[in-house]
Structure 1
Amino acid sequence: MRDQGGAVVRVFIGVDPHKLSVTIEVDDKNEAVLATGRFGTDNAGYRAMLKRVAPWPDRTWAVEGSNGAGRPLAQRLLADGEQVLDVPAKLSARARLFDTGHNRKTDAHDAHSVAVVAVRTPGLRVLSYDAELEALRMLVDRRDELSRTRVQTVNRLHRLLAELIPGTAKKEISTGQAKAMLASVRPRDLVGKTRRRLAAELLAELVVVEKKIKELRKELKAMVQARGSTLMDLPGVGPVIAARVLADVGDVARFADRNRFASWTGTAPIEASSGEIVRHRLSRAGNRRMNHMTHIAAATQIRHDTEGRAYYLRKIAAGKTRREAMRCLKRRISDALYRQLVADARAAGIVSAEADVEAGPGGHSGASLLSSAAGSHPHTGTSDQPLPGPAPTTLPATTPARKRTSAKALETAS
């Protein structure tokens, strides 16, 4: 579709996604509504949606929550060659509040607010389709599901074994130990026989799950190495952690620096200062899966003779608690992960070594890939916190109070 001057009209399509339906609104650069619609997420609904927006070839899709409910649709659009932007839910909520004066949600209002954010915000993250990363994400998600299934199966098996053999419960048990324990008991009553049969079934399920986990680990390791990633060179970072980092980060250029990356991983403290009291508190924001990965890497370094363990012990010797020292180590690991991701991107030729492109306010595509991390190990000289130091005080310097001299002291002195 062309305007009165004959130029092709560029439009933004705001998408409010759900599992079974999507609501869209087509806006031009002046925020004029050109079309609306509600479509199903099946093949027929998807084709009808594309047919509805076909008059505007110069179109950009704006999907709210492209890593959540909107991920299937976003990946589908990317696979078909469409340009897709990621709109954070917080931005669309603010636009809806300012536009309507209230925050009542409807699918039409949501689609409109998403489209408005896309029109007004030039720094939104542009999504890209990477088949290898998508496959890597699915495999690492599957591995996490199997890991949770294994924990549940072990707990159930542990309970039955504790009932079969009282007084021999162990904190941790392997499949070999469970087999030996089952072979040593032959109950004669109905309850005991049923309990042993269920334990044998759980043990068989546990063997199958552990075999699948091992196979997935090998597959993840091969895929990480095939991408040329050097994340596994870091102490405490194995194939599972490396795969999760690659799948969730995607394009490292969307982070302006290591501080933005640490904020995303939830390892950057939040300033909670008041007046002349400067303090920081733990951040509960960010990607919690990435925070969990950095925690596993930190725990692994502490258990072994690594430079991360030496750094952790130095922090404890300096007066920090174990939790505070662990948080400091996790921040160092976050910096090291960012440095390795940047190095891999430059080695792959994604970004030239001389590139020094600044990021927008959101730290999205076009971010600078320069990191101030000094080395590959987490103890290297980086800041304890990404936040700037406290602002210089504007209060006048306090004058120490003069000591009042008694009359008797004056008489003595004279």
Structure 2
Amino acid sequence: MKNYLFHVGIDISKLKLDVVLVDRTTNTLEVHFVVPNNTKGLKRMLSVLKQRKVDLQRTLYCFENTGVYTFPLSCFCFENGFDYWIVPAVEIKRSKGITRGKSDKSEAKDIAYYSIRNIDKLQLSSVPEQSVQQLKLLFAEREKIKKSLLLFGSTKENSGYVPLDVYRTVEAQNKKTIKFLKASLAVIDAKMRELVKRQPKLKRQFELIKSIKGVGDNTAIYFIIATKGFEVFASARKLACYAGVAPFEYSSGSSIRGGTKVNHMADKTMKSLLQMCALSAVRHDAQLKAYYLRKQGEGKNKMLVLNNVRCKIIGRIFAVINRDSPFVDTCKFVA
């Protein structure tokens, strides 16, 4: 691990960046300044750091993940070869302990000191490939359209309950809107498949994931998006934690003996997709079907067994990616 001389904490908002520089040798705040959250502001930040005689190659930049507002700073650090660390906001918040009051300057300072105290947890971030970024935006649009289809589809519930003349005032327009949304959904699906086909690496990963029974096109694409092309999760267990399907023990002393259960903090989209995969797998995959029926016969809760199947699917996905070969159904070789 690199021995950093300076730590820069950056609080990101839509229009500005609050920057705090901390000298690692003395753990003292050197300077605080504010720059616009754009290319001009990022260049000014670099200029200020140079004026302070900061060794840019021995500086760690740390900031929260604030979605799209984080992207310009991430790209700037990546293009200049700077070490940067994007940390979930909830992790920094919980690390601060009891606090009173809040300001952008104090947030930036807390982020800088977080990077010093938790340097043993450091996982340098990187910008995903352009194709993965495009897939991410397309998938987000797809989710919006699916929600819209559900909303506009609920208009049919009026049929048979309100007078026909009243319902007809919206029926035709509602059908047109739903038809347009379905057409848009088909276009987005086609664009995502085309993007995957154009990139040999993503195409190979897509084919490997699809070789697992129960996993469909959209699930395979979302796994590529969430893992940034399988670059950010070191093991299946870590991805299972992220997806919210990894079980954890809940106990304390002799009085609290809770059963193992999953945590509510999760990628809900991935968790939902894995649930559909598990339901499909226990119907069409002989091995998982036998496992599911055996565990149910032992009296295990249905949802617990399905969660185990979700974990097994994640394990299979990591296995095919790591060995770079399709999934092999061993059941068909059994005499």
Q: TM-score range by the shorter chain?
A: 0.7 to 0.9
Please tell me whether residue 195 in structure 1 is matched to residue 170 in structure 2.
Answer: yes
Q: Is the 8 A contact 2:6 2:60 kept in 1?
A: yes
Structure 1 residues 192, 109: CA separation in 2 closer, same or farther (over 3 Å shift)? closer
Structure 1 residues 254, 155: CA separation in 2 closer, same or farther (over 3 Å shift)? same
- The secondary structure found in structure 2 opposite 1:234 is coil
Q: Is the 8 A contact 1:22 1:38 kept in 2?
A: yes
Deviations 1:323-374 (A, max 9, x none): 1221121121122223233334xx8xxxxxxxxxxxxxxxxxxxxxxxxxxx
* Gapped regions of structure 2 (runs ≥ 5): none
Task: Give the alignment of 1:43-82 within 5 angstroms.
Answer: 43-55=39-51, 56=54, 57-58=56-57, 59-65=59-65, 70-82=70-82
Distance 1:335 1:47 in 2: 44
- The secondary structure found in structure 1 opposite 2:102 is coil
Q: Choose the corresponding residue for 1:338, options 318, 321, 332.
A: 318
Task: Give the alignment of 1:322-401 within 5 angstroms.
Answer: 322-344=302-324
Hey, what does 2:224 align to over in structure 1?
A: 246
One-letter amino acid of the counterpart of residue 48, structure 1: R
* Gapped regions of structure 1 (runs ≥ 5): 1-8, 167-186, 348-374, 380-414
Distance 1:204 1:70 in 2: 36
Hey, what does 2:101 align to over in structure 1?
A: 104
Distance 1:10 1:63 in 2: 17
Task: Give the alignment of 1:150-229 within 5 angstroms.
Answer: 150-156=149-155, 158-159=156-157, 191=166, 193-219=168-194, 221-222=196-197, 226-227=201-202, 228-229=204-205
Q: Choose the corresponding residue for 1:318, options 294, 298, 310.
A: 298
Q: Is the 8 A contact 2:214 2:285 kept in 1?
A: no
Distance 1:217 1:308 in 2: 29
Distance 1:309 1:35 in 2: 61
Q: Is the 8 A contact 1:258 1:338 kept in 2?
A: yes
* Structure richer in strand, relative to its length: 2
Distance 2:300 2:31 in 1: 59
Residue 25 of structure 1, CA deviation: 0.7
Distance 2:152 2:94 in 1: 44
Distance 2:110 2:95 in 1: 5
Please tell me whether residue 19 in structure 1 is matched to residue 14 in structure 2.
Answer: yes
Residue 83 of structure 1, CA deviation: 2.5
Please tell me whether residue 37 in structure 1 is matched to residue 33 in structure 2.
Answer: yes
One-letter amino acid of the counterpart of residue 101, structure 2: R
Structure 1 residues 196, 285: CA separation in 2 closer, same or farther (over 3 Å shift)? closer
Distance 1:291 1:53 in 2: 42
- The secondary structure found in structure 1 opposite 2:320 is helix
- The secondary structure found in structure 1 opposite 2:306 is helix
Q: Is the 8 A contact 2:11 2:17 kept in 1?
A: yes
* Aligned residue pairs, count: 316
Identity %: 20
Structure 1 residues 293, 195: CA separation in 2 closer, same or farther (over 3 Å shift)? closer
Residue 69 of structure 1, CA deviation: 5.3
Residue 378 of structure 1, CA deviation: 12
Distance 2:266 2:241 in 1: 6
Structure 1 residues 163, 46: CA separation in 2 closer, same or farther (over 3 Å shift)? farther
Q: Is the 8 A contact 1:224 1:239 kept in 2?
A: no
One-letter amino acid of the counterpart of residue 332, structure 1: K
Please tell me whether residue 265 in structure 1 is matched to residue 243 in structure 2.
Answer: yes
Q: Is the 8 A contact 2:60 2:85 kept in 1?
A: yes
Distance 2:161 2:330 in 1: 46
Q: Is the 8 A contact 1:12 1:60 kept in 2?
A: yes
Hey, what does 1:124 align to over in structure 2?
A: 122
TM-score normalized with structure 1 length: 0.66
Residue 36 of structure 1, CA deviation: 1.4
One-letter amino acid of the counterpart of residue 127, structure 1: S
Hey, what does 2:269 align to over in structure 1?
A: 289
Distance 2:110 2:116 in 1: 10
The alignment yields a C-alpha RMSD, in angstroms, of 3.3
Greater radius of gyration (CA): 1
Distance 1:111 1:269 in 2: 34
- The secondary structure found in structure 1 opposite 2:18 is strand
* Structure richer in helix, relative to its length: 2
Deviations 1:367-409 (A, max 9, x none): xxxxxxxx86799xxxxxxxxxxxxxxxxxxxxxxxxxxxxxx
Structure 1 residues 328, 226: CA separation in 2 closer, same or farther (over 3 Å shift)? same
- The secondary structure found in structure 2 opposite 1:262 is helix
Q: Is the 8 A contact 1:265 1:287 kept in 2?
A: yes
Structure 1 residues 284, 94: CA separation in 2 closer, same or farther (over 3 Å shift)? closer
